Amino acid sequence: MLLHRHTRPVRARYGTGASPPAHPTREGLVRYGCFSTDYPTPEKRLSLLSELSHLKGMGSQQQGTEPSTKEPCRGTLSISNLRLPLNVEFVSSALAKTGKPSHYFFVLIRYGSSNIVSTPLATAVDAQKGDTIAFPTSITL
């Protein structure tokens, strides 16, 4: 079994601050990389393997309680009040320019294998509260 450790934090694309580093897997295993020099001690490895076997045992017990046939879920999903956050500096620089806008924004929502819904085109001029574009589209799936 090859264990890998993830040490690189996930970087946020919007807003300030940084996201916390990636969390260990749901099995509770600390992953080690093949290029890393800090391998687990034998006690740590045994502890991790016993935790993994315990979790695998819990999974097989839960599978026995579920019905053998799975029914698809039915219902509706409504999507409204779509908002696209933008960088404040970008919006203010776009508002300061005269003439045609250089950037247009829209949202595509794909559901199923061939159903696609799009919002109307918007520009930075449409931004509300200085940094967010609100789309008036309301969709019920």
What is the tens place of the pLDDT at every residue in 1-26? 444 444 445 444 444 455 444 444 44
What is the tens place of the pLDDT at every residue in 30-78? 444 434 445 667 888 888 888 888 888 876 666 555 555 777 778 888 8
| Helix runs in the chain, H state only | 42-65, 88-96
Question: Which residues make beta-bridge pairs with 35?
Answer: none
What DSSP string describes 49-90? HHHHHHHHHHHHHHHHHS-SSPPPP----EE--EEEE--HHH
The ranges assigned to domains in the chain are: 1-67, 78-140
pLDDT at 47: 84
* Number of alpha carbons in the 13 Å side-chain half-sphere of residue 109: 15
User: Does the model's pTM come out above 0.85?
Assistant: no
What is the tens place of the pLDDT at every residue in 67-123? 557 777 788 888 888 888 888 888 888 888 888 888 888 888 888 888 888 888 888
- Displacement of CA 139 from its chain's centroid (Å): 21
